[in-house]
Structure 1
């Protein structure tokens, strides 16, 4: 069995190497996405209050101003807050008969001034799209839906290979147990160590093996969360039969939208606040800040999101109430943690993957992890190359 697993690990690694090098290096940069964008274009991504203690304008008033400035857009999502010192970001989905040059716009929350706009990921627009383009590379090699599928398949292969690689570090089973034989854990111990004086090849081999062991848990998080991001149906097919999930998708699928006039945005926000306060009392969590209100026109619902004590992320909370866009009747709720173990797992692996928790120390760790992923791919290729050269030399001899 071991030679078969070794062959699987070898060829899976060779197939994945290029993809993981790109994903690792771009992921290292994306851990600092917010900081890098602010440093590159502070006039677009950063704002200064006009006076100490100045309050930003009402978020829905800003939405109205953006809608007036871009009448072709159907602005169905309104951010309700932004981190201090940051511009507010609005998305500009357009009607099919009225395409827009940009699909994101950045607004000064204190004045309502348009600070910048971009078509997300179009590197031809310059620095304003540098980090989105890097994100496109990270997610899909900037190849659109085809790239998403390919990277999703690579993430699936990586997930399986995590377990194969770990199994290959285990010591070989003893054919016959002798009285002086070392315990299994002691025989496994060398796999975690580096042989510093064994020559270049042994050092490269140990970096690959020991590095994979020490970082194994986070490598698995990266791999499996990559499946969740790129191939959600596959992720759900594996996780939902094993772990309970909150039935939001099922509830919305059964909901019939009404053709009657829907609640306007201020009324919808007020209704969302009432429903969220009731949910917080019922489920015993604290509301930290409101984050967003969105109107799903095709479903006939509003979604109101806050960051709460149930959230893992430090920004853009996902604690959600969903209600009918006409009657305001609550249809579903979704809590990131503490209600269904399947949703708790997904919230944690997503936040870990995106370095959206625990501040800059964790961003530094994820940045280092990205470089380590690239390094493990390189050392794996070097180990394969050395073994191939040895086999060729043996055949010639």
Structure 2
């Protein structure tokens, strides 16, 4: 069985190498996505408000954006203004046109004046430096080929999750004869096992490059194993939800989200509540939920319209969220009459959703501040290093096997020649 796991780890690791190296290298930078964007584009990402000037109403600002960009819709209305930063709006074309038909789909707006600061087609590297970080993001989760790449990356994340378990098992020392029959045998065997396993956590000093590489690959994987598993399984959550959700639902209690609410066919041509009415309704429902569940609303985040389901989703950051950087406390209500459909409480109602919230927040470094960003960035380097050392170890073993076979062949030819 152990040999089968060795073969799995070796060849699945080789299969994943390209994906993990790309994810590792890009992840090193994406941990500081906002900071790097501000550094590259300070004229867009940094705003100095005039003293005494107030930000515009978010609904009025959204309407202004739509008037400037006809033949588009705005299904996500940002509500939260971060001091010194622009508001971002993601436009979609009026169906049946597709996003590909838009010249640009991300608009940066000065929230004080309503002026357009910049626009870009998110992730399109042909537009130059303005899309460097979004392009890195596309590489990170889909090799920049979007739908098919995202599915492929999800499959790799699933294999990586399983390989984390296999890799951990392979660090365990081989079994020895049981000492259960002797007094104190079980305890003695456990102590001996831990002593032998301790070697897997260490790097031998003064060894050759191959041995050091082997130790770094094995020990390095153990040192950060928990975070590797977090990255792998959260990668499944991001890219392969059709696998992630059923598994988590079986293991943990889960709440209903927008994804579980049914689509309407045919969907209404337009919502019964306009954006201003929907925002007012969302605020009322959220305040009621806050009073009932006794949580604190910190700031509004977004109003989202789902046209295929005729649903509005209103989200805030609350004391239920895992950090101040995550705003996933939500109410969902009917876009026609405003009737409440569901609540989503990220850190209280269901353990499965709490686990997911933490997995995604850790993956994206949205908890723990700068220290977590640095750690996630270093994890990108670690994932790259583990992948490359794995390839090197495979190549050395393959080279050694070829050399051994060549030696055997030469010996056979020599024996035949001598016999002749």
Give me the TM-score of the superposition, normalised by structure 1.
0.95
Q: How far apart, CA to CA, are the structure 2 residues paired with 1:344 and 1:91?
A: 28
Q: How far apart, CA to CA, are the structure 2 residues paired with 1:306 and 1:317?
A: 5
Contact 1:287 1:308 in 2 (8 A): yes
Q: How far apart, CA to CA, are the structure 2 residues paired with 1:216 and 1:295?
A: 39
Larger radius of gyration: 2
Mapping of residues 17-96 of structure 1, within 5 Å: 17-51=17-51, 54-96=53-95
Q: How far apart, CA to CA, are the structure 1 residues paired with 2:385 and 2:88?
A: 35
Q: How far apart, CA to CA, are the structure 2 residues paired with 1:84 and 1:69?
A: 24
Partner of 2:404: 394
Q: Secondary structure at the match of 1:129?
A: helix
Shift >4 Å, 4+ stretches: 178-182, 254-261
Q: How far apart, CA to CA, are the structure 2 residues paired with 1:81 and 1:151?
A: 32
Contact 1:305 1:321 in 2 (8 A): yes
Distance 1:176 1:245, change over 3 A: closer
Which segment is superposed worse, 287-296 or 98-107?
98-107
Counterpart pick for 2:211 among 184, 197, 202: 202
Shift in Å at residue 39 of structure 1? 0.7
Give me the TM-score of the superposition, normalised by structure 2.
0.90
Q: Secondary structure at the match of 1:302?
A: strand
Which segment is superposed worse, 213-222 or 295-304?
295-304
Find out whether 1:287 has 2:297 as its counterpart. Answer: yes
Q: How far apart, CA to CA, are the structure 1 residues paired with 2:263 and 2:55?
A: 39
Q: Deviations over 1:47-76 (max 9, x none)?
A: 11112x532111111101101101111112
Find out whether 1:193 has 2:206 as its counterpart. Answer: no
Q: How far apart, CA to CA, are the structure 2 residues paired with 1:250 and 1:387?
A: 47
Counterpart pick for 1:224 among 221, 233, 252: 233
Which segment is superposed worse, 158-167 or 242-251?
242-251
Partner of 2:411: none
Distance 1:342 1:307, change over 3 A: same
Q: Structure 2 stretches of 5 or more lacking a match?
A: 408-420
Aligned alpha-carbon RMSD (Å): 1.9
Contact 2:263 2:309 in 1 (8 A): no
Partner of 2:417: none
Mapping of residues 1-397 of structure 1, within 5 Å: 1-51=1-51, 54-96=53-95, 99-175=101-177, 177=179, 183-249=192-258, 252-253=261-262, 262-397=272-407
Q: How far apart, CA to CA, are the structure 2 residues paired with 1:368 and 1:153?
A: 24
Shift in Å at residue 101 of structure 1? 0.8
Q: How far apart, CA to CA, are the structure 2 residues paired with 1:102 and 1:233?
A: 30
Q: Secondary structure at the match of 1:57?
A: coil
Contact 2:263 2:308 in 1 (8 A): no
Which segment is superposed worse, 72-81 or 387-396?
387-396
Q: How far apart, CA to CA, are the structure 1 residues paired with 2:295 and 2:241?
A: 28
Q: Structure 1 stretches of 5 or more lacking a match?
A: none
Q: Deviations over 1:334-365 (max 9, x none)?
A: 11111111111111101111111111111000
Shift in Å at residue 17 of structure 1? 1.0
Q: Deviations over 1:213-264 (max 9, x none)?
A: 0110000011011111111001112111221111235862187966796122
Q: How far apart, CA to CA, are the structure 1 residues paired with 2:148 and 2:96?
A: 26
Contact 1:324 1:330 in 2 (8 A): yes
Q: Secondary structure at the match of 2:89?
A: strand
Distance 1:41 1:261, change over 3 A: closer
Distance 1:249 1:61, change over 3 A: closer
Contact 2:72 2:93 in 1 (8 A): yes
Distance 1:250 1:295, change over 3 A: closer
